[in-house]
Amino acid sequence: MKKFDKKELNKIIILGFLLIICLWLTYYFHFILKTEVIFTHLFYIPILLASLWWARKGIIIAVCLAVMLLVLSLADPLKVPIYTDLIRASMFIVIGTIIGILSEKRYLLEGKLRAYSKNLEQRVEERTSEIRELQEKQKAILDNISDAVVVLDNNLNIIWANSIAASQYQVTLGEKCYQLYKDQKKPCSNCFARKTLADGMVRSSEEESILKDGRRFNFIISCSPIKDLEGKIISVVEVFHDITERKKDQEKLKEYQENLEELVKERTNKLKERTKELKDANLKLQELDRLKSMFIASMSHELRTPLNSIIGFTGIILQGMSGKITEDQRKELTMVKNSSNHLLTLINDVIDVSKIEAGKVELFIEEFNLIDLVQGVKESFKVAADEKNLKLSLEMLKRLIIKSDERRIKQVIMNLVSNAVKFTDRGEIEIKVKKKDDRVKVSVADTGIGIKKEDMEKLFKQFSRIYVEGKPVTEGTGLGLYLSKKIVDLLGGQIEVESQFEKGSMFTFTFPLKYKEVKT
């Protein structure tokens, strides 16, 4: 049993107070007014009622009343027989007990009921907050999707809209759904909402409309019914999915594609034109190339014809065929002869370069004695070397038959020896010919000015000249070594140089004993 709480204590005080009043009234009526005892018992009725009200303590009250009645009976001056009082007292106890038991039961039942009701209240509260949370969630979701969502009643009035619908499409609650569109006064001819309200089917399609604010609006609309618990359709929900941008992009894409096609066409035409131009240009180039070759051939011929006579007749006069000449005449004519020979070399070099660059050098491969050739070269430089007081020595085998292009080999050796003579003022020039396995090695060493390190790499380049103090060291075209290298390459050989500035240089070239054609 529970302890008394404050409320119960109050009830006890009220009961006690009533009890005292009843006792006093009983006493007063019984002893002062000498009323019948039975009448005085009426005063206990409120007590009994009160104990019914506060029934749990009914037994205690009943016992109290019984004791009080016995005390009153004992003190009764009228001397009512004691057994009647005992009967009354027992009656009170019985009634009190019954009341007590009944009220106890009622109290327990009430307690249960209270607990049930409290539980119920709590559950209701929980459910309510759950529902509220769910509502918030749904609202948040509906407000945050990019689609506009509206709910229409069966008269096509908008009764709910998410925030996108309100902000993007100026939806106001209460207006008709078709009022979203510009200048529209009645439902659309193919109104989905009305159809769905009628048959409960879900519908969806792609539409285009003009909105209230004049914007073009492409969208996918889907329409679904909302039913009440009995399955009756009470409203519809419409979802507007905006595809305006996508539509625009598609249109743009289409436009681009069309443009692209046009562009491709245009470019193709241009390309065709260009190809034709190039073809024409190519033909022109071929023609030019042909003209160039013709020019070189004819130029060399035309230049050489007068040169023939200059060289020839200078030679004739120098040889004294036309009579005796003076020393001065000899000296001057020798200058003419040397210049003419130099001019001839220049012309030949230019022709060779143009041939090499056009890939038109034809080799004439035959067997010949290299020693004879080198001997011949040495002989032809004898005069020049003697003039500069240079020693020209030759170290070689007695006979060396090789298979190569005699004239080209001679051209290279001539070039190297001529350079050596040109760049050497004192000392000697040494030509060596050696055979090593299936290769021939020819070297030309001099004690001339040598080559600076920085000049080495441009040595074999076209038109490269060696400059000292800003002036070319000697006359020439700068084609000699370039040609020599190209020729040696063609013959399957290599050319190398070792040099020490102001000490001298040594050019060495090696080539196969027997030329083997390399098809390119």
Partner 1 sequence: MKRILVVEDNEINMYLCSRILKSSGHEVIEARSGEEGVELAIKDKPDLILMDIQLPGIDGLEATKRIRESEADGTIPIIALTSYAMTGDREKALSAGCTGYIEKPINPDTFMSEIEKYL
Which residues in this chain contact partner 1 in the complex, by CB under 8 A? 296-297, 300-301, 304-305, 307-309, 311-313, 315-316, 318-319, 321, 344, 348, 351, 355, 360-362, 364, 407
Answer whether 495's CB lies under 8 Å from 416's CB: no
Q: Which is nearer to partner 1, 407 or 503 (CB)?
A: 407
Residue 356 CB, nearest approach to partner 1 (Å):
11
- Provide the H-helix boundaries in 322-369: 327-357
Dihedral of alpha carbons 453, 455, 458, 459, sign: negative
Dihedral of alpha carbons 122, 128, 132, 137, sign: positive
Residue 329 CB, nearest approach to partner 1 (Å):
16
Record the tokens describing residue 26, joined without a space: 């009983």
Which residue, among 517, 496, 491, has the nearest Cα to 408 in the 3D structure?
491
Residue 466 CB, nearest approach to partner 1 (Å):
27
Q: What is the DSSP string of 278-320?
A: HHHHHHHHHHHHHHHHHHHHHHHHHHHHHHHHHHHHHHHHHTT
Q: Which is nearer to partner 1, 191 or 344 (CB)?
A: 344
CA dist 103 and 472 (Å) reads 141
- C-alpha distance across the termini of the chain, in Å: 121
Q: Which is nearer to partner 1, 120 or 297 (CB)?
A: 297
∠ Cα 268 273 277 (to 5°): 140
Record the tokens describing residue 467, joined without a space: 């400059």
Q: Number of H helices and number of E strands within the chain?
A: 13, 14
CA dist 504 and 428 (Å) reads 10
Q: Which is nearer to partner 1, 312 or 472 (CB)?
A: 312
Residue 318 CB, nearest approach to partner 1 (Å):
8
Residue 308 CB, nearest approach to partner 1 (Å):
4
Answer whether 171's CB lies under 8 Å from 181's CB: no
User: Is residue 129 helix, strand or coil?
Assistant: helix
Q: Which is nearer to partner 1, 52 or 311 (CB)?
A: 311
Q: Which is nearer to partner 1, 278 or 358 (CB)?
A: 358
Residue 259 CB, nearest approach to partner 1 (Å):
57
CA dist 296 and 343 (Å) reads 15
Answer whether 157's CB lies under 8 Å from 175's CB: yes
Q: Which is nearer to partner 1, 152 or 374 (CB)?
A: 374
Residue 487 CB, nearest approach to partner 1 (Å):
14
Record the tokens describing residue 134, joined without a space: 């769910």
Q: Which is nearer to partner 1, 111 or 315 (CB)?
A: 315
Residue 311 CB, nearest approach to partner 1 (Å):
5
Q: Which helix (H) or strand (E) holds 7?
A: helix 6-27
Residue 493 CB, nearest approach to partner 1 (Å):
21
CA dist 264 and 260 (Å) reads 6
Q: Which is nearer to partner 1, 250 or 309 (CB)?
A: 309
Residue 431 CB, nearest approach to partner 1 (Å):
20
Residue 363 main-chain phi, psi, to 5 deg: -90, 145
Which residue, among 138, 137, 66, 52, has the nearest Cα to 99 in the 3D structure?
52
CA dist 362 and 437 (Å) reads 27
Residue 510 CB, nearest approach to partner 1 (Å):
26
Q: Which is nearer to partner 1, 27 or 313 (CB)?
A: 313
Burial of 187 (0-12, 13-18, 19+ CB in 10 A): middle
Q: Which is nearer to partner 1, 351 or 513 (CB)?
A: 351
Q: Which is nearer to partner 1, 209 or 354 (CB)?
A: 354
Residue 414 CB, nearest approach to partner 1 (Å):
13
